[in-house]
């Protein structure tokens, strides 16, 4: 959707490049067994635009949006004649110390808005429509934390692409023409050991992240220094071309339960780019020198989905 129309109408569903929001819901569900349940899921998600308009038009300044993701297993149940080329299950990564787990999920809903009540209302209506044909397996309510910082205290998302590069890095092109305008997304829920993290000095934290904490400026890495979180997440191919992704991470937490976390969500034109980032984080580069923030951040979930364009999503409606 053109940025100029965001103030005039609700944001079109499947707008991967919609503005960063102050509130979000990350909802993962599984679909019950049987043909009827799969067809009901197709019916609901193909008409998600109607629900977004019903809620979003009540306050256009709320900028409500929703992206629907479909897993490889769910796609195979949806009776389609073709399949996104790179769609596959999330594969567990067992590192020398930490692991990226793979967890269940058939459908994923990324709901964003400037108002938490709008996210709540759209989620409520979606779950009401889906009814007993789905089971919620993960639900996270995220919020913007001061100047876009995570709960570790650092600005998150600095390396997101801008301008033309947003679509170039996040949306499928003519290389898979049947699914042009779609996107691959990987999601992970991380829980933080803030007490342990806070025992580190600011300099130790900055070296682990690869940026200064106060002003967000990149730090140069010494020739013999271990790679930082930032450098491990920089993917350059054999031809020297850097490949980016679009992140829309958000903090979440419940202080009364001692729960503090970051919900990682990365959209990409090429799924292998995010997969390579995660391998470098959990295995290390070189192997063994894993991402140091994993000593304080544990991946609790991991799943891969395909976010179709609105045209493809609407075509999923059962005849």
d(CA 49, CA 61): 18
3-state secondary structure of 149: strand
As a whole number of angstroms, the longest Cα–Cα distance in the chain is 61
Q: Which of 150, 156, 248, 291 is catalytic?
A: 156
Q: Which residue, chain included where needed, has tokens 């009814």?
A: 131
Q: For this structure, is 156 an active site residue?
A: yes
Which of the four pLDDT bands, split at 50, 70 and 90, describes residue 162? confident
Indicate if the pLDDT at residue 102 is higher than 90. yes
For 79, residues 6+ apart whose C-beta sits below 8 A from its C-beta are: 38
Phi, psi at 252, each rounded to 5°? -150, 165
Which of the four pLDDT bands, split at 50, 70 and 90, describes residue 8? low
d(CA 124, CA 211): 39
Asked, for residue 91, whether it belongs to a domain, the answer is: yes
For 95, residues 6+ apart whose C-beta sits below 8 A from its C-beta are: 282, 283, 284, 290, 294
Q: Please tell me the total count of domains within the chain.
A: 1
User: What average pLDDT does this structure show over 97-125?
Assistant: 98
Determine if the peptide bond prior to 261 is cis (ω within 30°): no
Which of the four pLDDT bands, split at 50, 70 and 90, describes residue 2? low
d(CA 71, CA 187): 12
Question: How many Å separate Cα 111 from the centre of its chain?
Answer: 11
User: What average pLDDT does this structure show over 142-170?
Assistant: 93
Asked, for residue 319, whether it belongs to a domain, the answer is: no
Asked, for residue 151, whether it belongs to a domain, the answer is: yes
Q: Residue 190: which domain range?
A: 3-314
Query: Please, are residues 258 and 151 in contact by the beta-carbon 8 Å criterion?
Result: no
Which of the four pLDDT bands, split at 50, 70 and 90, describes residue 51? very high
Asked, for residue 18, whether it belongs to a domain, the answer is: yes
pLDDT tens figures, 68-96: 999 999 999 999 999 999 999 999 999 99
How high is the pLDDT of residue 224? 80
For 93, residues 6+ apart whose C-beta sits below 8 A from its C-beta are: 99, 100, 278, 279, 282, 283
Give CA angle at 270 (2, 277), nearest 5°: 115
Indicate if the pLDDT at residue 235 is higher than 70. yes
């Amino acid at each position: 959707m053109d940025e100029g129309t965001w103030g005039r109408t609700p944001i079109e569903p499947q707008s991967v490049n919609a503005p960063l929001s102050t509130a979000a819901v990350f909802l993962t569900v599984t679909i019950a067994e049987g043909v009827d349940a799969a067809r009901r899921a197709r019916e609901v998600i193909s008409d998600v635009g109607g629900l977004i308009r019903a809620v979003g038009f009540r306050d256009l300044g709320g900028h409500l949006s929703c992206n629907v993701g479909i897993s490889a297993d769910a796609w195979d149940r949806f009776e389609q004649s073709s399949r996104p080329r790179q769609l596959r299950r999330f594969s567990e990564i067992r590192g020398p110390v930490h692991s990226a787990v793979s967890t269940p999920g058939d459908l994923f809903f990324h709901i964003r808005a400037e108002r938490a009540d709008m996210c709540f209302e759209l989620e409520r209506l979606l779950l009401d429509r889906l009814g007993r044909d789905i089971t919620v397996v993960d639900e996270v309510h995220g919020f913007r934390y001061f100047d876009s910082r995570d709960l570790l205290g650092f600005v998150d998302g600095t390396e997101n692409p801008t301008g033309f590069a947003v679509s170039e890095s996040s949306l499928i092109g003519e290389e898979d023409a049947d699914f042009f305008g779609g996107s691959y997304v990987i999601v992970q829920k991380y829980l933080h050991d803030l007490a342990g993290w806070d025992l580190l000095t600011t300099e130790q934290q900055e070296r682990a992240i690869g940026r200064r904490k106060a002003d967000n400026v990149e730090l140069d890495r010494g020739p013999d220094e271990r790679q930082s979180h930032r450098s491990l997440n920089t993917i350059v191919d054999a031809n020297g071309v850097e490949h980016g992704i679009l992140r829309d991470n958000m903090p979440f937490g419940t202080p009364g339960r001692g729960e503090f976390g970051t919900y990682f969500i990365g959209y990409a034109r090429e799924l292998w780019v995010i997969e390579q980032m995660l391998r470098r984080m959990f295995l290390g580069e070189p192997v063994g020198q894993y991402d140091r923030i994993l000593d304080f951040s544990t991946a609790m979930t991991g799943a891969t989905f395909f976010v179709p364009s609105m045209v493809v999503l609407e075509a999923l409606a059962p005849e």
